Amino acid sequence: MTTPRPRRTAALLRPLFGGRARLRWTHLILGGALLMPYWLLGTVVVGPLVDADSLFANSLALQFGAYAVALPLAAASALFPLVRPLSVAAARALCGIPEGSLADGPARSRAARVRTTGWFTLHVGLGGIISGMSLALPPFAVALMVLPLSSALRESRLGMPRVFGNGWTMALAPLAGILSLVALAACAAAASTLLARLAPVLLGPTPADRLAAAERRAADLAVRNRLARELHDSVGHALSAVTLQAGAARRILDSDAPKDREFVREALTAIEETTRRTVGELDSVLGLLRQDDEDRPTAGGGGAAGPTLDALDALLAHCGVHVALTVEGDVTTVPEPVSREAYRIVQEGLSNALRHGGTAPVTLHAALSTEKLEITMENPLPDTAPVVRPGGGRGLLGVAERATLLGGHAEAGHDGALWRLSVALPLATGGGAR
């Protein structure tokens, strides 16, 4: 089945006059407009050298000389970092360049500035030529097309080629006019296609840009992972403690023992305090998630929110299990990043003890030296196997991650009839928790 002739003609003309071709032509006209200030400055420089009567004299030497001076001036101005985002925005909007193939942000490195300079010079150089052709050729083409119909135009000639006399060659004038317009469109299409192909090369990300983007993604991922650990430890501990306290209170109420109603009151108070503290921590973490990327704390821990070891007494008082605490040294002097992570480690250790050991007492020992903070938690193993959550938990993994990011280490496992969690956190973290 053959394609109808009108469709074949439209397919042939689409690269020259289609919607994308018109947008790219507009991009070239924009380049010509950007060249104009440099060209005017070039006429000031070249004018006295060619003895032009005025800056706008009809002199090819003046025009092309000014063009030759304008290109180096444009290249020098393109060294400014902000030229790249402006060029990228125009190329994306008018040249149809895919989003991921062009770089974002100012050109900071030398390689990026050199590439941007090459792009900007090529854009304004080709744009200046196509803009000049777009101004000159259409009136000339129209004059050729109406030349056989206008005796006044034939007599004036207006610079028309002598080849179009009064004979049969006059009939070729309209065809020559149409061909000149097609030639203009072909030149514009060729120039714009060249720019579109070179855009990813000259405006695309340099190796330094890719490295910076990878570092930003890694930092953002580290922040999100830290916030996820905050939510896991805070909410997980609160739910474990509340579940245990609520279950104990229910059993007391079911036993209908008046002498134990005071325990119910204490359990409800512990639930209230735990949920109130956890809601505050949850609001803090969710507030960080809602912040813009510029306002969000960095992976180094700057501006991070969360309780520290100063709040350890309140945590132990309402954790739902008896904790025997021994402390060596003044833990309130621990650097804030270490103190914040140590609090979360203790919180996760208590959650693990509540989840697997029930109401069995927990022993917590914190020892502070000049170089590190050591935390040891022990609780008896239950008589029955603990309930394993589907997919396993991430609490101990989070403890290990917190310790590793501070340059320390964590160990957890059975020690006879006890479950032991041992963590060592160096005080000099080289940037803090991430």
Residue range 53-73, pLDDT digits in tens = 655 556 778 888 889 999 999
CB 285 within 8 A of CB 234: yes
Nearest to 60 by CA among 157, 4, 136: 136
120 vs 34: CA distance, rounded Å: 10
The three-state secondary structure class of 431 is coil
**At 119, is the pLDDT very low, low, confident or very high (cuts 50, 70, 90)?**
very high
Verify that 326 and 283 share a domain, yes or no.
Answer: yes
Which domain CATH number covers 414? Answer: 3.30.565.10
119 vs 271: CA distance, rounded Å: 65
CB 401 within 8 A of CB 227: no
237 vs 225: CA distance, rounded Å: 18
Which tops the pLDDT comparison, 2 or 351? 351
Verify that 276 and 376 share a domain, yes or no.
Answer: yes
Verify that 189 and 248 share a domain, yes or no.
Answer: no
CB 137 within 8 A of CB 184: yes
The three-state secondary structure class of 140 is helix
User: Domain for residue 432, yes or no?
Assistant: no
Verify that 263 and 192 share a domain, yes or no.
Answer: no
Strands 418-426 and 323-328 turn out to be: unpaired
Strands 362-368 and 372-380 turn out to be: antiparallel
176 vs 182: CA distance, rounded Å: 10
Verify that 323 and 298 share a domain, yes or no.
Answer: yes
60 vs 341: CA distance, rounded Å: 75
State yes or no: pLDDT of 399 exceeds 90: no
Tokens representing residue 369 in the block: 């030296």
Verify that 338 and 303 share a domain, yes or no.
Answer: yes
Verify that 275 and 228 share a domain, yes or no.
Answer: yes
User: Domain for residue 129, yes or no?
Assistant: yes
How far, rounded to the nearest angstrom, does the alpha carbon of residue 374 sit from its chain's CA centroid? 39
User: Domain for residue 218, yes or no?
Assistant: yes
Strands 362-368 and 409-415 turn out to be: unpaired
The one-letter amino acid at 196: A
How far, rounded to the nearest angstrom, does the alpha carbon of residue 54 sit from its chain's CA centroid? 52
Give the pLDDT confidence score for residue 186 in this predicted structure.
Answer: 92
Q: Which residue(s) pair with 413 in the sheet?
A: 420
Give whole-number Cα distances, 166 to 38, 149, 163, in Å.
Answer: 44, 12, 9
In the DSSP assignment, the letter for residue 376 is E
Verify that 82 and 222 share a domain, yes or no.
Answer: no
State yes or no: pLDDT of 240 exceeds 70: no
Which tops the pLDDT comparison, 121 or 403? 121
User: Domain for residue 98, yes or no?
Assistant: yes
Tokens representing residue 196 in the block: 């579109």
To which residue do tokens 């070891």 refer? Answer: 309
User: Domain for residue 222, yes or no?
Assistant: yes
In the DSSP assignment, the letter for residue 335 is -
387 vs 354: CA distance, rounded Å: 12
State yes or no: pLDDT of 223 exceeds 70: no
Give the pLDDT confidence score for residue 289 in this predicted structure.
Answer: 64
CB 25 within 8 A of CB 188: yes
Torsion angles phi and psi, residue 15, rounded to 5:
-65, -20
Q: Which residue(s) pair with 377 in the sheet?
A: 364, 421
In the DSSP assignment, the letter for residue 51 is T
To which residue do tokens 């610079």 refer? Answer: 159
State yes or no: pLDDT of 248 exceeds 80: no
Name the domain boundary from 172, 205, 238: 205
State yes or no: pLDDT of 433 exceeds 50: no
State yes or no: pLDDT of 122 exceeds 90: yes
Domain that holds residue 130: 5-205
Verify that 244 and 194 share a domain, yes or no.
Answer: no
Side-chain-facing half-sphere of 345: CA atoms under 13 Å: 34
Give the pLDDT confidence score for residue 431 in this predicted structure.
Answer: 45
Instruction: Give the burial class of 388: count Cβ atoms within 10 A of its Cβ; 0-12 exposed, 13-18 middle, 19 or more buried.
Output: exposed
Give the pLDDT confidence score for residue 391 in this predicted structure.
Answer: 44
Name the domain boundary from 188, 205, 222: 205
Domain count, the chain: 2
121 vs 73: CA distance, rounded Å: 9
